Amino acid sequence: MSRSVYGRMGDAPASGADALRRSRQPLLGRLVYRTLWCAVLAVVKVLFRLRVEGAQNFPAGPFILSPVHRSFIDTPIAGMATSRRLRFMGKESLWEIWPLGPLLSLLGGFPVERGTADRTALRAATDVLSLGEPLVMFPEGTRRTGDRVRRDDMLDGPAFVAARAGVPIVPVGLGGTVRALPVGSVVPRPRRVVVVVGDPIPPPAKVQGRVPRRAVRELTDRLYRELSDLYVEARVLAGEEPDRA
Question: 119-130 and 16-23 helices cross at what angle (nearest 10)?
Answer: 60
**pLDDT at residue 242 in the model:** 53
How far, in Å, CA of 176 to CA of 80, rounded? 15
Domain membership of residue 183 (yes or no) is yes
Low-confidence stretches of the chain (pLDDT beneath 50): 1-17, 19-20, 117, 244-245
Domain membership of residue 244 (yes or no) is no
CA angle 99, 36, 53 (to 5 degrees): 130
E-strand spans in the chain? Answer: 51-53, 64-67, 87-91, 109-112, 135-136, 169-175, 194-197
Structural domain boundaries, residue 85: 12-237
Domain membership of residue 2 (yes or no) is no
Q: What is the DSSP letter of 49?
A: -
**pLDDT at residue 32 in the model:** 82
Structural domain count of the chain:
1
Write down the number of H helices and E strands in the chain.
8, 7
Domain membership of residue 243 (yes or no) is no
**pLDDT at residue 28 in the model:** 77
**pLDDT at residue 25 in the model:** 62
Q: Residue 36 belongs to what H/E stretch?
A: helix 27-48
**pLDDT at residue 178 in the model:** 93
Domain membership of residue 191 (yes or no) is yes
Q: Is 207 helix (H, G, I), strand (E, B) or coil?
A: strand
Domain membership of residue 5 (yes or no) is no
Domain membership of residue 1 (yes or no) is no
Domain membership of residue 54 (yes or no) is yes
Question: In sequence order, what are the beta bridge partners of 196?
Answer: 53, 173
Assess contact for 171 and 226: CB atoms under 8 A: yes
As to burial, measured by CB atoms within 10 angstroms (0-12 exposed, 13-18 middle, 19+ buried), residue 63 is buried
Q: What is the DSSP letter of 4?
A: G
Q: What is the identity of the amino acid at 235?
A: R
CA angle 31, 33, 97 (to 5 degrees): 120
**pLDDT at residue 15 in the model:** 42
CATH number at residue 130: 3.40.1130.10
| Backbone φ, ψ for residue 63 (5° rounding) | -160, 170
**pLDDT at residue 19 in the model:** 47
Omega cis (within 30) before 99: yes
**pLDDT at residue 5 in the model:** 37
